[in-house]
A and B are shown apart, each in its own frame.
Chain A
Amino acid sequence: MSYTGSAPASSSLYWKGMESSGDPHPPILAGAQNAWDMLSDEQSQKHITTGSGDLNNILGGGIHCKEVTEIGGVPGVGKTQLGIQLAINVQIPVEYGGLGGKAVYIDTEGSFMVERVYQIAEGCISDILEHFPHSHDVRIVIIDSVTFHFRQDFDDLALRTRVLSGLSLKLMKIAKAFNLAVVLLNQVTTKFTEGSFQLTLALGDSWSHSCTNRLILYWNGNDRYAYLDKSPSLPVASAPYAVTGKGVRDAVSSNHKRVRVT
């Protein structure tokens, strides 16, 4: 058994580009990148903070750009609050550790309350003590909620599945092409599995594969918790968080230091 190794410099396959980039492999595909270059790109990526240090920790620093993150939970647990908080936190200037970008908030249910947005924006500014300069590109797209229009009036479930999978591919493409984060808020529904009714995210089994990361928000007694259910690089973990007048912050009982963006 023998395996071909890297081409020695004297072989007939010596490639002109090798001098500039040092890469011994000639490009096989036009648009592809090798894993080492992707690693360097990834390490220079900034994450969008959620406002809660514990939540940022389980997410690996915050919401990632170039990925589609799904956030689901029962009504009232704070999905829209988190969505609004992210729309504001993406605008934190680069000097303060943020992305300095714009947000696009797509509201399908009418739950976007402008007065609450003003409150949360004021809360964020008071923590940073500075005005926000004009931001440049869109860095986050939030859809609240992606389930709403698909739950009623869709008689043909197979058609719904096809439309949803087409939609998720388009969102993945936008996230990658424009280097922005896509956040999808999802409702819960009951499902009959293993002899009992359980709460699961809406839109069925095939939709559960259409995101890069999944965060499930739930109640544990009187406290709100977030559970990272799906991620390509992070382990599953839970973290508590709280929704205060100023927005999403660490839970009161948390040992984590107050998130101070300096």
Chain B
Amino acid sequence: MSATRGRSGGGATTSGCGLKRRNAPQDQEDSKMMNQDQPSTEDWCGRFWNGMELLKDVTEKKHFLPTGLEGIDTLLGGGLRQGQLTEITGPSSSGKTQVCLHCASNIAAKQMGVVMYLDTSNSFSPSRVATIIYGISDLFGQRGFELQPKDARLKSVMRSIICESVFDIFALFEVLHQLEVSLLNDKVNNGGSKVCLLIIDSISSLLAPIIGGKYPQGRSMMISVAVILKKLADEHNLSVLVTNHMVSAGNGAVKPALGESWKAVPHVRLMLSRECQNNICTATVLKHTLMASGRTAKFAAPS
């Protein structure tokens, strides 16, 4: 069984809107090539991987990044998978930002890599992150930490969370482009702390203003963003976490925003809801690649 995976071949530049062709033959030589041996498909779209290579890549490189919230980690089968795009949706104030902050803190505290946090509503709270990090029980058992004073440990952990505010879709494209360049450079230099988690809170507030109406480019920009995020996740072993809000679906029901086209984009979709009276959150799996959907878990809202 063979499967194809897009890879940047030699001489290809970064994807931009994902519209560059790689290793395409020149137009003048087109007719000549048609008559002679056909260019192999590998020249057009990158190397074919066979099933065993894919399995090896997935088991050795695409790890689960634990969120630190036990109920959610169990639902997700371990955590956020590298190479996959996970979406968290839910009504307002249901805990989506809290889950993002917990993920970022947990990954940074366990020194798994650098976390990139793109914030669209000024909701990234450094004091909240510090509180969560202090609450992670085995932080001070990490190697190399015993010798440092408490403040220095917090400092080195928080330095691996990088936050940028993004307020429109074009700024998002620019930021993702810079991130891609930086990751490619890291690959070349082969060292240093690499970005392992990218969080966008919330991607729906960037996409909602441009979708719909008589402006058809909006939907294509949404799909471009989706392609870039999935490509980054796959090629650089990132886990991408995005949040989405909910809109009314008629008759008082609610559904995730961004419509039918976005539904197919994330690999894993989780829906949160919170009961006001007793602070219990419920998470429901809407879509998952390895496990059945529809499972739920209840847990106390993180304090």
- What is the interface of chain A, defined by CB distance below 8 A to chain B? 1, 3-7, 11-13, 23-26, 28-36, 38-39, 41-43, 66-68, 158-159, 161-163, 165-166, 168-170, 172-173, 175-176, 191-194, 204-206, 208-212, 214, 229-230, 232-233, 235-236
Contacts and interface: CB of A to CB of B under 8 A. Distances in A.
8 contacts: A1-B63, A4-B192, A11-B191, A13-B192, A25-B160, A29-B175, A35-B161, A206-B245
Which bucket holds chain B's interface residue count?
35 or more
B184 to A, nearest CB: 12
B254 A39 contact: no
A29 B162 contact: yes
B212 interface: yes
Interface in B165-221: 165, 167-168, 175, 178-179, 182, 186, 189-196, 202, 204-206, 208-213
Interface of B: 63, 91-93, 97-98, 101, 104, 108, 110-114, 116-117, 120-130, 154-156, 158-165, 167-168, 175, 178-179, 182, 186, 189-196, 202, 204-206, 208-213, 245-248, 252, 254, 257, 276, 279, 303
Contacts, number: 190
Contact of B116 (A6, A28, A176): A28
Given A1-B63, A30-B178, A161-B208, A25 B192 contact: yes
Contacts of B161: 34-35
B178 A29 contact: yes
Nearest to B176: A29
Contacts of A7: 191-193
A68 B124 CA distance: 13
B170 to A, nearest CB: 12
A208 B92 contact: yes
B179 A235 contact: no
Contacts of A168: 121, 205
Nearest to B64: A1
Given A28-B162, A33-B162, A42-B127, A169 B167 contact: yes
Minimum-distance CB pairs A-B, first 10:
A39-B126, A233-B125, A32-B164, A208-B92, A35-B161, A36-B158, A233-B128, A13-B192, A35-B158, A232-B123
